[in-house]
Amino acid sequence: MTKPRVLIAEELSPATVEALGPDFEIVECDGADRASLLPAIADVDAILVRSATQVDAEAIAAAKQLKVIARAGVGLDNVDIKAATQAGVMVVNAPTSNIVSAAELAVALLLASARHVVPASTALANGEWQRSKYTGVEVTDKVVGVVGLGRIGVLVAQRLSAFGVKLIAYDPYVQPARAAQLGVRMVSLDDLLAESDFITVHLPKTAETIGLIGDAELRKVKPTVHIINAARGGIVDEKALYDAIVDGRVAGAGLDVYAKEPCTDSPLFSLEKVVATPHLGASTDEAQEKAGIAVARSVRLALSGELVPDAVNVQGGQLDEVIKPMLPLAEQIGSLACGLADSAVSRVTVEALGEIAEHDVRVLELSALKGVFQMLVHDPVSFVNAPVLAEQRGVEVSLTTDRTSEDHRSLLRVTLTQTDGSTVSVAGTVTGAKDVAKVVEVDTFDVDVPVSNHMAFFRYHDRPGVVGIVGRSLGEADVNIGGMQVSRDDSGHALIVLTVDSAIPADRLESIVAEIGAHSGKAVNLR
């Protein structure tokens, strides 16, 4: 069996390759060199990059079998997520790999700014001993304003609390009770600007946060304030900050990020009161290793056909342990329902019933949709592009939950509405210690049949001898029956559900339908 090919386009830690393991063929190229990248990406299943490689629409179009783009880091500025999604390519990163490194750098910049570490060091290197010139301030008992109390903001707050500071924060998405547990008082941005002796920024870069701290905001701060930005460039307006420092309205700044990078000519670099580093937030051996290992694990999951819940272009929510056994079932019954449909599908309805309804089941909707479209299109269908395919074809998708399930602890039902208004429905569950997937309902018929790669369904008017005819005919075609069940309703109609070891030839299927006078006969092959 051919091993999946993984392209490493930039230098990554040895631990990354080790985390991938021996199940993959590793190829390498210089991702920053387009002439090297484009031919190298053409026949690989995954690509691992950092920040120098531009995985844009052109590169994605050149990748004929690409399934995963993995960025060993936090940002995704160098990946065209829209083009990847359209192509059904999963995009993953390592959002938590550098949070400790970034938090520690923010604290380092804050302390360096408070004590004039950089200009004092530079002066000493130049043969100058100037103790009085570089008198700083203590952090203890000062008010530290944290702008953005996410994962990194929390780590910064926790570390600074050891210095005996008073912590306040601005973050419209954090509840005051949660902040109070951390010893942080939530305030408005205006109050934070007015009260803080140190302001440290930990927000993502969005349309709403660009220029959040600009000229107007910097006129509300204490003249003794120090401003730290180790998050994203542009959140603090650099020109406004320069003017405020020159005018004496801001005492100092510590910067690791800039509006345009690489940046080597900012006027801020000329000021002694500014400590500046070249975007070193993630530049630790530990962060690089964590990032590489994290995305390697995501690549392994993705290339084995499993969902990566934190993929940036997969809207499935977190994958709860209770939900995991239902994930392949959702895809299977989605495919079975589609295989039983007689006309085009206009709507897909997914119902999660019973105990699973207590959890986040959005991923089951996604998996069911993947199963449906695998039966409808010739192109590869993934967790990524299944919603795109539905949107392109005008197929409505809905998910409902109900904690009540009469006959099963957990039940998943997929109902397809066809363009003529008729519906077809298949429901399933998992049972036993081995989580065996079973079909338990086909439209109005109750059944109990393990899911198989090859299944057949015959609807007919119940009468003696039909089962024998089906068995004989399949035997003549050398198709072995793994299991069979007959379900009947009150109107005299019956449904035979078969699991077989191989696909039933089309002409044999037609022959059986004619011989038993079936209302319908469908063979569904899941693989």
**Residues labelled as active-site residues:** 232, 261, 279
Is 331 in contact with 524 (CB distance < 8 Å)? no
Return the number of other C-beta atoms located less than 10 Å from residue 72's C-beta: 29
- d(C-alpha 433, C-alpha 21), whole Å: 29
Largest CA distance in the chain: 106
Phi-psi label, residue 37: left if phi above 0, alpha if psi -120 to 50, beta otherwise: alpha
Q: Which of 501, 520, 499 is nearest to 509 (CA)?
A: 520
Is 100 in contact with 286 (CB distance < 8 Å)? yes
DSSP state, residue 55: B
Q: Which of 188, 139, 191 is nearest to 161 (CA)?
A: 139
- d(C-alpha 173, C-alpha 482), whole Å: 55
- The alpha carbon torsion through 323, 325, 330, 331 (nearest 10 deg) reads 130
The amino acid that residue 453 corresponds to is N
- Tell me the C-alpha to C-alpha distance, in Å, between residue 64 and each of 56, 84, 327, 380, 526: 14, 12, 27, 11, 24
- d(C-alpha 226, C-alpha 199), whole Å: 6
- d(C-alpha 474, C-alpha 515), whole Å: 12
Return the number of other C-beta atoms located less than 10 Å from residue 159's C-beta: 15
Phi-psi label, residue 100: left if phi above 0, alpha if psi -120 to 50, beta otherwise: alpha
- d(C-alpha 199, C-alpha 358), whole Å: 41
